[in-house]
C-alpha cells in the first residue's frame, strides 16, 4: 500500500505496459524497495538476493554501465542489499550520491534532523510496531506494523516539518523528515550530466510518491517513468505489476542487449 492509498481512497488509473526499448540509448534508474526488492515489515528484513544481484550485474554489462539504484535508503544499505552490484547509486532521496566512477557527494545534514529523530523516538516509545530509522541526513518513522497510527504519525511529521524546515517525504507506510536540497529527480538529473549516462534516454522505475520527482526528471530529459504496482495518478508513463514483473522485464532487457552486442561483434 502506498502512502497515498493509506490516507485516501484509491483512484482508478490505467497505464500501459513498458514498450520495447532502444537499448543502445537507454539508461536505467531503479528504486530499491518495492521495485528491486519486495517491501518488508522492517527495513533490515530486506537482504541480498542472488537473482537480483545477477540481474544488476548483467544489466551493467549489457547497458555499458548505464544503470543506477536511486533509493531512499543510505548508500551503505543499498550496497548491502544489492551485494555491491550497483556502481552508480543515490541514497536518502538524492542527498547522497556515488557516480559511476566512484566519486562521492553528499549534503551536509541539517541539525534539525536530530530534533526530528528525538521526537519520532518519543512517539514510537509507547506504540508497538512503530519503528524509527536514523539515516543521518534524515529521520524515518515507519508504521507498516502499526497502520492504525498513520494519522497520528502524519500529524506529528507535518508539525515537525513546519517547525524545523525539514522536508517531509512520504513513502510506503513511512514518513521521513529529511535535510532539504535534493530529491530523486535531482539525482537522476545529476547522473545524466556524467559518463556513462550523458546523452542516453533516462528511464526511472519506482513504486511510490518518493519516485515522482524521478519520473518527472526522466520525462523532462527525454525519457519516461515506469510505475510499479497498482495504477494511480502519476508522472510515470508506463506500469509494471510488481517486483517479479520488474525482474522479469530487466532480465529481458539484458538478454536483448546481449543479443544485439553479439550480433554487432
CA distance 66 to 62: 9
CA distance 55 to 48: 12
Contact 184, 93 (CB under 8 A): yes
CA distance 209 to 34: 12
Out of 31, 183, 207, 211, which one is annotated catalytic? Answer: 31
**CA-based nearest residue to 105, from 92, 122, 120:** 92
Number of continuous H segments (helices) and E segments (strands) in the chain: 8, 12
Contact 85, 51 (CB under 8 A): no
Active site residue 241: no
Q: Cell 508504521: give the residue.
A: 143
Contact 70, 29 (CB under 8 A): yes
Is the bond preceding 175 in cis, omega lying within 30 degrees of 0? no
Integer Rg of the chain from CA: 18
Residue 161, C-beta contacts closer than 8 angstroms, at least 6 positions apart: 167, 168, 177
The residues carrying an active-site annotation are 31
Amino acid at each position: 500500500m502506498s502512502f497515498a492509498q493509506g490516507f485516501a481512497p484509491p483512484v482508478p488509473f490505467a497505464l500501459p505496459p513498458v514498450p520495447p526499448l532502444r537499448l543502445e540509448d537507454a539508461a536505467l534508474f531503479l528504486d530499491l524497495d518495492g521495485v528491486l526488492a519486495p517491501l518488508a515489515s522492517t527495513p533490515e528484513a530486506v537482504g541480498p538476493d542472488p537473482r537480483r544481484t545477477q540481474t544488476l550485474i548483467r544489466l551493467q554489462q549489457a547497458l555499458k554501465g548505464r544503470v543506477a539504484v536511486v533509493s531512499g535508503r543510505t548508500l551503505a544499505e543499498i550496497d548491502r542489499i544489492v551485494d555491491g552490484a550497483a556502481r552508480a547509486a543515490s541514497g536518502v532521496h538524492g542527498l547522497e550520491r556515488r557516480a559511476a566512477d566512484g566519486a562521492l557527494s553528499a549534503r551536509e545534514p541539517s541539525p534539525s534532523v536530530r530534533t526530528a529523530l528525538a521526537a519520532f523516538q518519543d512517539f514510537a516509545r509507547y506504540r508497538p510496531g512503530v519503528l524509527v530509522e536514523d539515516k543521518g541526513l534524515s529521520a524515518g518513522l515507519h508504521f507498516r506494523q502499526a497502520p492504525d497510527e498513520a494519522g497520528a504519525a502524519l500529524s506529528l511529521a507535518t508539525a515537525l516539518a513546519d517547525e524545523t524546515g525539514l522536508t517531509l517525504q512520504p513513502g510506503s507506510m513511512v514518513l521521513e523528515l529529511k535535510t532539504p536540497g535534493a530529491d530523486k529527480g535531482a539525482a537522476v538529473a545529476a547522473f545524466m550530466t556524467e559518463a556513462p549516462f550523458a546523452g542516453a534516454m533516462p528511464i526511472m522505475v519506482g513504486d511510490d510518491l518518493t519516485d515522482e520527482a524521478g519520473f518527472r526528471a526522466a520525462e523532462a530529459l527525454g525519457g519516461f517513468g515506469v510505475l510499479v504496482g497498482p495504477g494511480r495518478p502519476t508522472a510515470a508513463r508506463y506500469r509494471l505489476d510488481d517486483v517479479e514483473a520488474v525482474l522479469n522485464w530487466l532480465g529481458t532487457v539484458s538478454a536483448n542487449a546481449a543479443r544485439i552486442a553479439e550480433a554487432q561483434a
